[in-house]
Amino acid sequence: MQDAIRQLIRAIGEDPEREGLAETPMRVEESLRFLTGGYGQEPREVIGRGVFRAECDEMVVVKDIEVYSLCEHHMLPFFGKAHVGYIPGNYIVGLSKVARLVDMFARRLQVQERLTTQIAEALEECLSPKGVGVVIEAEHLCMMMRGAQKQNTTTVTSCVRGRFRSDERTRSEFLRLIGK
C-alpha cells in the first residue's frame, strides 16, 4: 500500500522523499487500515456477549452516536450523528454495543444510505426485536470541498423496520425522542 501511496504523491506532482512527505505513506496506510477496520468484523462478534434476556418491551434509543466514515465514491470523509432505536423482543443489547455496531459499519467505504440500512439489519438479525429505527444525519466532504461545494448541507437517511414501519405512533415516538 505504501508504494501505491508514493506513486499517488508523485502523480499529483510532489516528491514523496521530501522531508514532510517521507513518512506520509506509512501514516496514510495506518490511517486507512484503521478507517476501514470494519471489514474484518461481523455484527455478532461486535455484539458478542452483550445480549441479554429482555426485561422490558419499551423502546430503547441510543442517540447522537458520532459517525465517521469514508465515502466510497471519493474516499473523502463524511461525519455526523446516528440515532438508533429498537423495541426488544426477547433480548436487549448492551448500550455500548449499539455504538460499536455503528462504528463497525462506518469503518468501511460507505454510502450513508447503505450504512443506515446495515445497522438496522444487523440489530434485526442479532436481537429479533419488534421494531428498529435508524436515522443518520451527516455532512459529506465530497459535497462540501468539491463537486457542488455546498458547505451547509446535511444529508438525513432513515431505515425503519417492524413496528417502526407499521405503527405511526411508534415511528412518531422515535422521531420525537431523537428530536426530529
Q: Which residue numbers are catalytic?
A: 71-74, 112, 140, 142
Q: What are phi and psi of 25, to 5 degrees?
A: -55, -40
Which of 61, 56, 55, 54 minimizes the C-alpha distance to 173? 61
The residues that bridge with 162 in the sheet, in sequence order, are 131
Cα angle at 137 between 134 and 139, to 5 degrees?
Answer: 150
Q: How many helices (H) and strands (E) does the chain have?
A: 8, 7
Contact 134, 119 (CB under 8 A): yes
Residue 108 grid cell? 468501511
- DSSP class of 16: T
Among 164, 165, 137, smallest CA distance to 61 is for: 164
For CA atoms 106, 111, 112, 115, give the dihedral sign.
Answer: negative
Phi/psi for 84 (5° steps) reads: -125, 130
